[in-house]
Structure 1
């Protein structure tokens, strides 16, 4: 079976401490891992990956559009002190930067991030990340990082904000289960290392400093729509992020605003009047 080749390659690409689970189909990998963490908090990394997800979702409860071929997985980790004290926005950004970095290693085009956590390549959205936390009956908490990456798509798709939907263009065929397993192992290993480093250092200065290298819109004029005033876009120059992971937007008169990723969405050109 092709799943055997995929799982062998995946397991060989990961630290032995990672518990690997695979299913043909599920509703939501995040929901499945959250249910497991409610029963018993994670003591080590737990990975769940599926071929097909029927009830995936993004931020603000948006549905996740299934690609022709996608990498769908959730990674569960213990939520220890270093992660507990981290601003939630910074964890999403750290995860997105990690995935952009590791995916770029296997891609024909550089993979970037649309703040705060959309995976971006070739001028469009190629994936998304949803981070959630959950506690068990003893109050011990876990973090679940849900990821969906497009590997092959039908042309012409656009997001609700008017951006093209893209796929990550890899140097090897992702229809090969062995290559797909190694690719996922590369991404998950980098995610684990990234969150272990945060847990130990409690320091986000390196992430803030390196953010401009990954931000697809750094230094550019952008328009954001807020959830409370969707008909009045905020426009300005993207000036990076602050210590809480908020986007710094500089207006025409030099005034600055800090935007929360939970409250805004970036408008595509077709939505900017």
Structure 2
């Protein structure tokens, strides 16, 4: 595990290190602060000291399942690690495509970036602080009364990620998706989805398809497959 006091983005740094063949699969890079942290769709990820900002590298191999499934691998590993730190994890839920919610508020996010045969998985967790966002509620582990620190959380996360990565390679996406569904909001939950072209859809959560895409049941009885978008629990 590599740690730096500050950097622009752990994802960006790890991509450069992978390009230069300086690091191998399984390397984790953690920053105590980021000055140019990124979320999905180019959003800024507020990165004050005290939270977890870390990225790891996956080197894709011939015969690996489709790389898109790594988002689910990261999500179930993160959920397990955070669950282990909570005295009462009953309010913890995964939300497609990359959020972990605690009592309905955003606790963390995941950003995957691919370059050739390398996928960098970036994970941010609100450990000590949480930002105020206009479009969604946020929270932190400290706000929930949890005293775990970012280093301890990452050590557990790294072990769990390695285990789920091995399972993904050995058994495919099915067991990973099954775990994700077990930790997500229930089938039938009302969702609103904003697609990349800003089209809005409302419907019911129907689970995931075989690739890990979101299945949304619309009011007219049709089923819409969502590969990208922002999802809000209604």
Q: After TM superposition, give the deviation of residue 268 of structure 1 in Å.
A: 6.3
User: Per-residue deviation at 1:87?
Assistant: 4.6
Q: Does 1:132 align with 2:101?
A: no
Alignment map for 1:116-195 (pairs within 5 Å) = 116-135=97-116, 141-153=117-129, 157-159=132-134, 162-169=135-142, 173-174=147-148, 179-195=149-165
| Distance of aligned partners of 1:189 and 1:148 in 2 relative to their CA distance in 1, 3 Å threshold | same
- Shift in CA distance, 114/28, structure 1 to aligned 2, threshold 3 Å: same
Deviations 1:202-244 (A, max 9, x none): x11112323332213642111111122x2x4211110100011
CA contact (8 A) 2:110 2:121 kept: yes
2:3 maps to 1:30 = no
Give 1:108 deviation, angstroms: 3.2
> Which ranges in structure 1 are unaligned for 5 or more consecutive residues?
1-19, 136-140
Task: Tell me the SS of whatever aligns to 1:193.
Answer: helix
Distance in 2 between residues matched to 1:76 and 1:87, nearest whole Å: 12
SS in 2 for 1:145: strand
Question: Which of 76, 81, 85 is the aligned partner of 1:106?
Answer: 85
Partner of 2:224: 257
Greater RCO (Cα-Cα under 8 Å, separation 6 or more): 1
Give the number of the structure whose alpha-carbon radius of gyration is greater.
1
What value does the CA root-mean-square deviation take over the aligned residues? Answer: 2.2
Q: Which moved more, 1:48-57 or 1:61-70?
A: 61-70
Structure-2 separation of matches of 1:217 and 1:258: 17
| CA offsets 1:113-134 (integer angstroms, 9 cap, x no match) | 1101112112111111111222
**Pairwise CA distance, 1:41:** 6.9
Query: 3-state SS of the aligned residue for 2:71?
Result: helix
Q: CA deviation at 1:42?
A: 4.5
2:35 and 2:87 mapped to 1: Cα distance? Answer: 29
In the aligned structure 1, how far is the partner of 2:157 from the partner of 2:44?
23
List 4+ stretches of structure 1 deviating above 4 A.
Answer: 169-172
2: distance between equivalents of 1:221 and 1:268? 6
The whole-number CA distance in structure 2 between the counterparts of 1:74 and 1:154 is: 19
Q: Is the 8 A contact 1:106 1:171 kept in 2?
A: no
Structure 1 residue aligned with 2:192? 223
1:14 aligns with none
The correspondence for 1:209, drawn from 162, 169, 178, is 178
1:241 is aligned to 2:208: yes
> How far 1:82 sits from its partner (Å)?
4.3
Shift of 1:173: 1.9
Q: State the Cα distance separating 1:195 from its structure 2 match.
A: 1.1
Going from structure 1 to structure 2, the CA distance change for 1:227 and 1:133 (only over 3 Å counts) comes to: closer
Offset at residue 200 of structure 1 (A): 2.7
Q: C-alpha distance in 2, partners of 1:266/1:206? A: 23
